[in-house]
Amino acid sequence: MKRFHPRAAVLATLAAVAIAVATDGAAASLNASAVAAACPGVFARGAVLTRVADATFGESPLDFPEARATLFTDWAHWAPTPPKVYLYERDSGAVRLWMRNASVNGMARMPNGDVAMALRANRSVGIMADPGVAAKAVVTVATAYQGRRLNAPNDLVVDGGGGIYFTDPTWGVEEADRELDFKGV
């Protein structure tokens, strides 16, 4: 039986907490104790959560421990303006724009260090080799399933062998534009 990796639990919990908003529309605050309790044994005793940026709809954190940095997306008003990807630098605390006009939603590291991306607005999945360079070139690796165009790739994970698993919900795609009549993984 495969053991569930604790980082997956952390990311799932943080993603769920990050998108929570109060019913009056005010941003929800993170409760470090509640998150730590939801992920027993994952956080060091006394660890604290730190707010690094105000995002309208921040999600998809992707850590680069070797660079002491984390990427995340902000889907603010994604319909008229495609989302952006930001880079949080832990040493300086700076948050800077990393990729503009990206349809990036979910992101995950490939075993070789490349970045797999769910490109929702483009209705595809792609891979970015060498994410440290200024020119951010993404190579498309999936656009269809059984000859029919994907709906809206959203979140993804990568296994140890480089296999990419992604969700493909229908939301955001008009019914007339859907070639797949189901939500898939």
* Domains of the chain (ranges, CATH numbers): 1-51 (no CATH), 57-177 (2.120.10.30)
Q: Which two tokens stand for residue 120?
A: 């929702």
Total length of the chain: 185
Cβ proximity of 120 and 74 under 8 Å: no
Q: How far apart are CA 35 and CA 15, in angstroms?
A: 11
Q: What is the pLDDT of residues 49-90, one digit of tens each?
A: 777 777 777 788 898 888 888 888 887 655 556 678 888 998
Distance CA 179, CA 55 (A): 32
**Side-chain half-sphere exposure of 103, counting CA atoms within 13 A:** 18
pLDDT in tens, 98-139: 887 778 888 999 999 999 999 888 899 999 987 777 677 889
Task: Give this prediction's pTM.
Answer: 0.74
CA–CA gap between residue 168 and residue 172 (Å, rounded): 11
